[in-house]
Structure 1
Amino acid sequence: MAPRLLSCFRRSSSEPNHEEKETAGSTTTEEERGPGPVVVELFSSQGCATSTEAEMVFSRLGRGDFNLDVPLVLLAYHVDYWDYNGWKDPFGSSQWTVRQKAYVEALSLDTMFTPQIVIQGRAQCVANEPEEILSCIASAPRFPATSFQATFQKPTPDSLQVSLTGTLSTKVDDQGANLMVALYECSLVTDCVDGANKGRVLANDYVVRRLEKLCSVHDISPKKSISGTLNFPLWEGFNAAKCGVSVFVESPSHLIYFFSSSSSVFMIDD
């Protein structure tokens, strides 16, 4: 049998399996679902000597090694401003550098640095200091969890189509908010042959490969239906079994308003 998409998004099938029926029965209201996860963003680079320790801490967060009672959404952005130092990060992007610059302004910081953790778009700390990270997570604001129905297709061998339908759980004022969709990849291994980490084998998880805005919303009430479709161009060596999708809502300055949905690592028909 060909592999099918596996995720914790609600599926579009009209006949859910037994597990899906139980899930639907246990999450019929926002109150029963409770607060959503905390979004934890890592800014890192393979060209930064101290980022390797932070990447290990980030992976441990994903494995649940710290026994947190708070669900997390983990997204790692590899910046490109260390690429001059002898090693070009294969996952680095100027798009992620621009995102980090926006946080520098929003959080009134003096400068950018790696490795850095930003939590819910509202607090930041050094990413290789686990105690400080856990403290920031514990004090982070939580927002209502909502469910989006998602369908995935590969219209061409080098593209992934993500279609989403759902409702917001919180009113959005006239300043607006953006519904963002991140495509990330785990279990990446790189032999680093130059730069600050020369001779090391680097492991990276939750690496954001694509981040797109599904739509912008302004001055709308809770429970208003939202839908849209994105087409992600895929990279060479794309392996769906190592990838996942997260959806979250943020302000224009990247403050996380509330969390919408997140998938686990998934598989999809070729």
Structure 2
Amino acid sequence: MVGGLSPLAATATQLFEQSGSVPQLIQLYTSEGCSSCPPADRNLRALLNDPKLWTQRLPVAFHVDYWDYIGWKDPYAQPQFKERQYALKKSGAIESIYTPGWVVDGKEWKGFFLGQALPAPPSRQGGKLKVEVNDNQQVTVSYQGVPNSPDSDPITAHLVLLSFNQTSHITAGENSGKTLQHDFVAVQELQSVNQTPEWRFSLPGSDLSTQKAMVVWLTSENSPQPLQATGGWLE
């Protein structure tokens, strides 16, 4: 298995690769307007110290905007993140829409509310995923599926840029008076559907100073469970 990040200095390119075991994609749907969310945010932030980070665990915090009406507008929330959560419900991956909502390996995980640790990373095998990022902020994603796999559905490539060490001083809403800290914050999400095993993206904007990591994963048309995933720190 190869996981994580390898720099290719000669071409000013960063290479993310994963083959063999599929890493555990950990999605947290959260909001600064939700009084139940700070403990979940802290649990996600703790993964910064997890030795499995980037090789076996890929955390992403999607901030949603449906609690903004209470009085505090979450600066990290985007409408598409709410739409992503609703799409998971439509697919049957989660039962309902709420925060904090955990989706682990494409399935709803309620162990957080029972004080449980995250489940072990999955043991299933995936194909070979390669992500190249050049110095012009162009990203090429390529995939070699598992040999003899019968799945011929179109594949969606998901690319999320993450920000870290973010602090908010909350002055309204359920968390009024609190100072909240965030890591693994999704700040940009791109998707592309393709029948062929290659996808190309242009990273939005020219200033990536707050976008410190990237996570990329693939899903088939009929399941939110990742076919393969990779990620790591951006240089």
- Per the TM superposition, whether the score is higher than 0.5 is yes
Distance in 1, matches of 2:223 and 2:81, equals: 12
With normalisation by structure 1, the TM-score equals: 0.72
- Per the alignment, residue 24 of structure 1 pairs with none
CA 1:253–1:56: 2 relative to 1, 3 Å: farther
Partner of 2:47: 61
Return the alpha-carbon distance in structure 1 between the equivalents of residues 231 and 165 of structure 2.
Answer: 18
Aligned counterpart in structure 1 of residue 212 of structure 2, from 236, 243, 246: 243
Provide the residue aligned with 1:100 in structure 2.
85
Q: Find the structure with the greater CA-based Rg.
A: 1
Are the counterparts in 2 of residues 42 and 75 from structure 1 also a CA contact under 8 Å? yes
Q: Distance in 2 between matches of 1:234 and 1:121?
A: 32
- Using a 3 Å threshold, how does the CA distance of structure 1 residues 57 and 259 change in structure 2: closer, same or farther? same
The residue aligned with 1:203 is: 181
5+ residue gaps in structure 1? 1-6, 21-26, 155-160
Question: What's the counterpart of residue 79 of structure 1?
Answer: 64
* Structure 2 residue aligned with 1:168: 144
Selected match of 2:162 from 172, 184, 195? 184
Q: Kindly state the Cα deviation for residue 11 of structure 1 after the two structures are TM-superposed.
A: 3.8
In the alignment, structure 1 residue 37 sits paired with structure 2 residue 9 = no
CA contact (8 A) 1:184 1:210 kept: yes
Q: Is the 8 A contact 2:129 2:228 kept in 1?
A: no
TM-score by length of 2: 0.81
Q: How far apart are 1:257 and its partner, in Å?
A: 3.1
Partners of 1:138 and 1:204 in 2: how far apart? 24
Q: Percent of pairs identical after alignment?
A: 19
Q: 1:212 pairs with 190, 195, 203, which one?
A: 190
**Alpha-carbon spacing, 1:103–1:149, altered in 2? closer, same or farther (3 Å):** closer
Structure 2: distance between partners of 1:191 and 1:38: 31
Query: Structure 2 CA distance, aligned partners of 1:119 and 1:85?
Result: 28
Indicate whether 1:9 and 2:10 are aligned: no
* Separation of aligned partners in 2, 1:73 and 1:173: 24
**RMSD (Å), alpha carbons:** 3.2
Identify the range of structure 1 (141-150 vs 244-253) with the bigger mean alpha-carbon deviation.
141-150
Q: Which runs of 5+ in 2 are unaligned?
A: none
| Count of residues in Structure 1 that have an aligned counterpart in Structure 2 | 228
Deviations 1:194-253 (A, max 9, x none): 11111111011111111111x3233x6xxx5x2523231367xx524x511111001346
Q: What per-residue deviation string (whole Å, max 9, x for no partner) do you get for residues 153-181 of structure 1?
A: 35xxxxxx232243323347343220111
Q: What is the identity, as a one-letter code, of the residue corresponding to 1:230?
A: S
Q: Is contact 2:22-2:123 (8 Å) kept?
A: no
Q: Distance in 2 between matches of 1:36 and 1:108?
A: 18
Residue aligned with 2:216, SS = strand
1:115-144 per-residue CA deviation (whole Å, 9 max, x = no partner) reads: 01001112332645440x52xx22746343
SS at match of 2:81: helix
In structure 2, what is the Cα distance between the partners aligned to 1:145 and 1:62?
Answer: 26
The corresponding residue for 1:23 is: none
What amino acid is the match of 2:220?
S
The answer as to whether partners of 2:131 and 2:141 remain within 8 angstroms in 1 is yes
Cα distance in 1 for residues equivalent to 2:121 and 2:8:
35
Distance 1:177 1:239 in 2: 30
Equivalent position of 1:150 in the other structure: 132
Q: 1:111 aligns with which of 96, 99, 114?
A: 96
Structure 1 contact 47–87 (Cα < 8 Å) conserved: yes
Q: In 2 relative to 1, CA 126–46 (structure 1 residues): closer, same or farther, beyond 3 Å?
A: farther
Q: 1:204 to 1:128 in 2, by over 3 A?
A: farther
Q: Given that residues 245 and 262 in structure 1 are in contact (C-alpha distance below 8 angstroms), is that contact kept between their aligned partners in structure 2?
A: yes
Structure whose residues are more often strand by fraction: 2
Give the 3-state SS of the residue equivalent to 1:138 in structure 2.
Answer: coil
